[in-house]
Amino acid sequence: MITENLQKAINDQITAELWSSNLYLQMSFYMEKEGWDGAAHWLAKQSEEEKEHATDMAHYLIKRGGEAKVSMIDVVPEGWGSYADVFENVYKHECHVSELINGVVDIASAEKDKATQDFFWGYVREQVEEEATASSIVDKIRKAGDAGLFYIDAELGKR
């Protein structure tokens, strides 16, 4: 059985993952409107991935005897500026998500819930990759300049 405190933390993370999914979906729509189909595709895939995280966390919580709940999901921002601005925001957001997941691990540790610690350590490791990928995209955008964005966009579309 999972504690109420940990159940709340996981449900908060589920809601955060769904907000992230909406954020990336909104970014995808923005990039599509701006004519950057590769980035739009990449961001849409990222949106799907965040929704999968929420679903996996909910299934885990239910298996542990808890109740999965989705709280109200706040509206996400609109209008992102340049191509670089979009991916700088992606990187900042992934860093924020890492902090949130670390918080769940900290609560699981304090509750001495090793199963939840182990489950969320998988997400900690995944967040390292997410941050590195977003940082790499930002670096490539900076190095490529405006003309190079067409190449980067084509590469992002291959995801």
The single residue listed with the structure tokens 């949106």 is 47
Note the pTM of the prediction, 2 decimals.
0.95
> How far apart are alpha carbons 109 and 138 in whole angstroms?
34
Question: In sequence order, which ranges of 34-82 are alpha helices (DSSP H)?
Answer: 37-63
Q: Which domain holds residue 80?
A: 4-156
Q: 62 with 53: CB under 8 angstroms? A: no
103-156 pLDDT, tens digit per residue, is 999 999 999 999 999 999 999 999 999 999 999 999 999 999 989 999 999 999
For residue range 73-96, list pLDDT tens digits in order.
Answer: 999 999 889 999 999 999 999 999
Q: Which tens digit of pLDDT belongs to each residue from 13-33? A: 999 999 999 999 999 999 999
- With 0-12 / 13-18 / 19 or more C-beta atoms within 10 angstroms meaning exposed / middle / buried, residue 17 is buried
CATH number at residue 61: 1.20.1260.10
Domain count, the chain: 1
The gap between the terminal CA atoms of the chain, to the nearest Å, is 39
Residue type, 78: E
CA distance linking residue 144 with residue 150, whole number of Å? 9
What is the maximum alpha-carbon separation in the chain?
Answer: 56
